[in-house]
Amino acid sequence: MPISRDFFARHAVEVAPDLLGCVLEHETAVGLVAVKLTEVEAYAGQADPASHAYRGKTARNAVMFGPPGHAYVYFTYGMHFCVNLVCLPEGTASAVLLRAGRVIEGTALAAGRRASTRNRPAAGRSSAGIGSAAGVGSAAGQRDLARGPARLCQALGIDRSLDGADVCDPGSPLRIGGRSGPVPAVRSGPRVGVSRAAAIPWRFWIAGEPTVSPYRAYAARRRTAGSAPG
């Protein structure tokens, strides 16, 4: 059962905890992967220093300023995708970052994507590096399939071609369904890895879920050494 667009036409902080336990599905030619959301974070757009929309509209974050119920997919750290669901009516930027989930359908496909993700076209590595596939059938492997925002995108096969996808449309390849079970016990705390507004407790997760990613505070890093001229 899909979720109505009205559900997303609220403040991200209200939407975020209500998304826990809902199911995100991505259907492609090779099959379907479904994930039950277990961890999310709210971003309040132009009112939130940690949001990509804080400085205004750009080519990358344009979808966040559009109508609610659409996916905002961005590429970061030069190698990872993350997916958000847009909240509030058109013209107002606000979104919920999907940080982690539990794969409940298409486990083999998700595991295959995770194992082969390192062979990316842009890098063109000739080295294999696929050995990590070991253990994907184990309990720990299942737990890690969509544990973290970039892993969740890998498991679901989400990339920027899905930026702007309407998750409220049952005919969309990327769509979301409501909870089937009881209301989960929700916990909250500071958001992960953000440098600004780090104390605001807008991260929400399901209590006791092993798929929830470990908390990690923002840590500044020295820039890469080397890169000497000629």
Partner DNA sequence: CAGCTGATTTCCT
Partner DNA sequence: GGAAATCAGCTGG
Residues of this chain that interact with DNA (CB under 7 A) are 41, 43, 50-53, 55-56, 58-61, 72, 74-80, 82, 84, 95, 97, 114, 122-123, 129, 131-132, 144, 147-151, 191-196, 213, 218-226
Q: Which is nearer to DNA, 170 or 218 (CB)?
A: 218
Phi-psi region at 197: left, alpha or beta (left = phi > 0; alpha = psi -120 to 50): left
Looking at the Cβ atoms of 182 and 226, the one nearer to DNA is 226
Q: How far is the CB of 20 from DNA (least distance, A)?
A: 16
**Residue with Cβ nearer DNA (108 or 185):** 108
For the bound state, the minimum distance from the C-beta of residue 23 to DNA, rounded and expressed in Å, comes to 19
Q: How far is the CB of 171 from DNA (least distance, A)?
A: 26
- Give the residue from 74, 39, 37 showing the smallest Cα distance to 53: 74
How far is it, in rounded angstroms, from Cα 144 to Cα 210?
A: 9
Residue 57 CB-half CA count within 13 A: 9
Q: Which is nearer to DNA, 183 or 196 (CB)?
A: 196
Smallest distance, DNA to C-beta of residue 79, A: 5
Neighbouring-strand partners of residue 166: 70
Say which residues have a Cβ less than 8 Å from residue 173's Cβ, sequence separation at least 6: 26, 27, 28, 162, 165
Rounded-to-integer distance, Cα 162 and Cα 154, Å: 13
Minimum gap (Å) between residue 200 Cβ and DNA:
12
- Residue with smaller CB distance to DNA, 5 or 80: 80
